[in-house]
Amino acid sequence: MWSSLPLFPEQASTVAKDVDSLYIFLIAITVFFSLLIAGLVIFFAIRYRRRSEVELPEPITGSTKLEAVWTIIPFVVVMVIFFWGARIYFTISRSPANAMPIYVVGKQWMWKLQHLEGQREINELHIPVNRAVRLIMSSEDVIHSFYVPAFRVKQDVLPGRYTSIWFQATQPGEYHLFCAEYCGTKHSGMIGKVVVMEPTDYQTWLSGGPRAESMSAMGQNLFQTFSCHNCHRSDGKGRGPALEGIYGKAVKLATGQTVIIDDNYVRESILNPLAKVVGGYAAVMPTFQGQINEDGLSQILAYIKSIGPQAVTQNDTMKRSEPAPTNKKSLKP
């Protein structure tokens, strides 16, 4: 019903309704208490005004009951906002495991996008309807922000690290894409559109245009070009660890600390290899800072994810390491 108001953009993603409901709830609560308090101030000012010079007010020493009421009611309201908001926040932050990854690079002043199949786009993103899509984003220069109002998602895009968002479009159509972080003179021109298509149309679109090499193939080329394969040998006998099947796994560092191999770990290991050296290996890898651009980093990342027994697509910058599940049944005699 709210989408019929011109104040609101279309609700075109799975989270849009939830975000709007919370927003409306916040507005309703705010309006209700603002009117209640303003009304009571005016009412009491008139009702209890001083009617004669000799009239003296009765002293009030306090009321525990009243204090409890005005403590408990706001507490309950705030807790509702907290848990409701947290639920939506977690939904938006955690991408489903089967989300389709697409790589995004922001630069002054355009959006560059690349699909796993290799297709590149500028300021346009074609996606299939009813399919979770996860964007893995970085910036070549300053902070940008990827914002699709109809999907109710917005995420800063930073230089030097990956951030990600996911969404699932619910209806075909074209939707505005904005940069929502002031990023220089032509910030207002850093706009584009998201084109949501029926799955068959998307496949047609994907196979149209010039024949593109897949991102992992491009990444593999770079892997060879920079001679990464000389040390990261697949038989594990190289000077660096084998990279097959490592993505998404936990690895023990030389410091004894354990880290999950995610997008940002791979990125850091290419640009600043000595920051987190895997245990058992010498700190000998040179940095590739300044030699590989953002597109190249995305391609190498796509390649590393693609090799090995289990290619894991799910791994957020938000993801935390979880404790290993304990099998309680096996503990029973």
Name the site residues for ligand CUA (rule: CB under 6 A): 106, 109, 144, 179, 181-183, 187, 190
Least Å distance between CB 137 and ligand CUA?
12
Q: Are 252 and 246 in contact (CB under 8 A)?
A: no
Q: How far apart are alpha carbons 169 and 164 in whole angstroms?
A: 16
Q: How far apart are alpha carbons 21 and 85 in whole angstroms?
A: 10
Q: Are 136 and 232 in contact (CB under 8 A)?
A: no
Least Å distance between CB 17 and ligand CUA?
28
**Closer CB to ligand CUA, 142 or 312, in the complex:** 142
Q: Residue 93: name the closest of 297, 320, 301 by CA.
A: 320
Least Å distance between CB 144 and ligand CUA?
3
Structure tokens at 321: 């390491």
Q: How far apart are alpha carbons 158 and 177 in whole angstroms?
A: 17
Least Å distance between CB 138 and ligand CUA?
13
**Closer CB to ligand CUA, 104 or 246, in the complex:** 104
**Closer CB to ligand CUA, 71 or 188, in the complex:** 188
**Closer CB to ligand CUA, 112 or 276, in the complex:** 112
Q: How far apart are alpha carbons 217 and 223 in whole angstroms?
A: 10
HSE, side-chain direction, 13 A CA sphere, residue 305: 26
3-state DSSP call for residue 300?
helix
**Closer CB to ligand CUA, 163 or 170, in the complex:** 163
**Closer CB to ligand CUA, 190 or 277, in the complex:** 190
**Closer CB to ligand CUA, 109 or 265, in the complex:** 109
Least Å distance between CB 108 and ligand CUA?
7
Q: Is 83 exposed, middle or buried (0-12, 13-18, 19+ CB in 10 A)?
A: exposed
Cα-Cα-Cα-Cα dihedral of 39, 44, 45, 47, to 10°? 120
Least Å distance between CB 190 and ligand CUA?
4
Least Å distance between CB 176 and ligand CUA?
14
Encoded amino acid at 73, one letter: I
Q: Give the phi and the psi of residue 324 in degrees, each rounded to 5.
A: -60, 135
